[in-house]
Amino acid sequence: MLIKAKTLRGYSLLCLDGEIGKVEEFYFDDQHWTIRYLIAETGGWLTGWQVMISPYALTTVNKEAQNISINLTKKQIEDSPLLESDKPVSRQYEESYYGYYGWPLYWGGAYMWGANPYLERNLNLRADGNTAKNENQSSNLHSKHSWNPNLRSTKAVSGYGIHAIDGEIGHVDDFIIDDETWAIRYLVIDTQNWWPGKKILISPSWISSISWEESKVVIKLPRETIKMSPEYTDESLLTRDYENSLHMHYKCRGYWDNE
């Protein structure tokens, strides 16, 4: 299912033994454009810490009930490595976090999920929060295919300027996430200053460069081509027919073909 990041914000988070809070935002990497952590707003519980949940633990998104199920207990989360709210996510922290749960390192290979092209959800956690150690875990860490991701906040990137090859077209308004792979499939672009009242979708694969310092994203498409693309509205159904028409307009293969 494709769903907007803004829609997911505020969804209840249900652990195996009760609710722990609500969705606050997401961290994604700037290579595969995949969600790496869901950040929970826990109210008075674990105040001062970022409660980060990897998609490895996210089992079901229920749009009708507006909740997300997590295959962890409250104690497993409470005993996991926590990050102070004012600190960035470091590689040292991530190694500690993934080591605690025993999950495969997402940066330990050439694929979206490290050594695997798909997200494995059937990982059996022990009561102490760990799986049986992956024999390839340490070797993957130093694999020739490993990469060094930069994590970005969906809240922070919202508002970034979007530039076509021949001029500015708008700004990032939202992100559309695939809740099976937790990949960001599209950026929702608000074009109000160029094409009033219109929104469009841009695939991360069409991005040619990003200046994080200038809060600027450049896509390898001309403005006129973008203007003629299928319009997106908040009420639009993100069906495969709509996606096909979008990719056909840009003469690009769909991500479902590439995968």
pLDDT tens, the chain, 259 aa long: 999 999 999 999 999 999 999 999 999 998 899 999 999 999 878 888 889 999 999 999 999 999 999 999 999 999 999 888 878 899 999 999 999 999 999 998 889 999 888 888 766 554 455 544 444 444 344 444 556 668 999 999 999 999 999 999 999 999 999 999 999 999 999 998 888 879 999 999 999 999 999 999 999 999 999 999 998 987 778 999 999 999 999 999 999 987 6
Of the residues 152, 186, 203, the one at which a domain ends: 152
Same domain assignment for residues 94 and 136: yes
The predicted pLDDT at position 161 comes to 96
- Residue whose C-alpha is closest to residue 184's, from 71, 34, 59: 34
**171 and 143 part of one domain:** no
Q: How far apart are CA 90 and CA 107, in angstroms?
A: 13
Tokens for 209?
């460069």
Q: Do 147 and 173 lie in a common domain? A: no
Shared domain check, 193 and 75 = no
Q: Please count the structural domains in the chain.
A: 2
Is residue 133 located within the same domain as residue 172? no
How crowded is the C-beta side of 249, counted as CA atoms within 13 Å?
A: 21
Same domain for 125 and 170?
no
Ranges of beta strands (E only) in the chain are 2-4, 12-15, 18-29, 35-41, 49-53, 58-62, 67-70, 83-84, 151-153, 161-164, 167-178, 184-190, 199-202, 207-211, 216-219
Beta pairing class for 67-70 and 12-15? parallel
Q: What integer pLDDT is reported at residue 94 of this predicted model?
A: 94
Per the listing, tokens 């922290």 go with 93
Alpha carbon distances (Å) from 218 to 35, 128, 228: 21, 45, 18
pLDDT at position 123: 60
Give the type of residue at 118: Y
CA 55, 57, 63 angle in degrees (round to 5)? 70
Segments forming the whole domain that contains residue 237: 158-258
Indicate whether 91 and 146 sit together in one domain: yes
61 and 181: one domain?
A: no
The pLDDT value given to residue 196: 84
Residues 112 and 164 in one domain: no
What pLDDT, on a 0 to 100 scale, did the predictor assign at position 193?
81
